[in-house]
């Protein structure tokens, strides 16, 4: 049976650039601006799809338009939120501040 060995830990974790309030405020402002922009793009996309649906099928059940709004809106905004967090984490250097216990095994 292999013996498990404890992984060495650094005595002090490296600080994240997001620990600085100025950097964090700048990053979150950029994130909010991106989310507002994606909200506008999402709304334009929904309106274009509604116009296409109306031109193809006319005024059908209101539930079709509500489902279209929710489906497209939630999908695009969820994608924007998750990708925005990836960009925020990578763009601020937060990803590089982690303590990688496997770094010495290369």
Estimate to the nearest angstrom the gap between the alpha carbon of 78 and the chain centroid: 7
Cβ proximity of 17 and 52 under 8 Å: no
Predicted TM-score (pTM) of this structure: 0.71
Quick one: pLDDT at residue 6? 59
* pLDDT number for residue 72: 97
Q: Which pLDDT belongs to residue 41?
A: 97
**pLDDT tens figures, 57-68:** 988 999 999 999
| Euclidean distance between CA atoms 38 and 60, whole angstroms | 28
Asked whether the CA dihedral 76, 81, 83, 88 is positive or negative, the reply is positive
As given in the structure block, the two tokens for residue 14 are: 């490296």
What does the domain layout of the chain look like in residue ranges?
24-93
**Tens digits of residue pLDDT in 2-60:** 666 655 665 566 777 777 788 888 888 999 999 999 999 999 999 999 999 999 998 89
Three-class SS state of 86? helix
């Amino acid at each position: 049976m292999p013996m498990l060995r404890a992984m060495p830990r650094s005595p002090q974790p490296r600080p994240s650039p997001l620990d600085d309030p100025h950097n964090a405020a700048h990053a979150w402002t950029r994130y909010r601006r991106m989310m507002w922009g994606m909200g506008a793009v999402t709304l334009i996309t929904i309106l274009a799809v509604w116009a296409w649906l109306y031109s193809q099928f006319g005024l059908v059940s209101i539930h079709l338009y509500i489902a279209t709004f929710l489906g497209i809106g939630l999908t695009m905004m969820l994608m924007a939120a998750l990708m925005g967090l990836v960009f925020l984490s990578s763009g601020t250097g937060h990803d590089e501040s982690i303590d990688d216990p496997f770094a010495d095994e290369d």
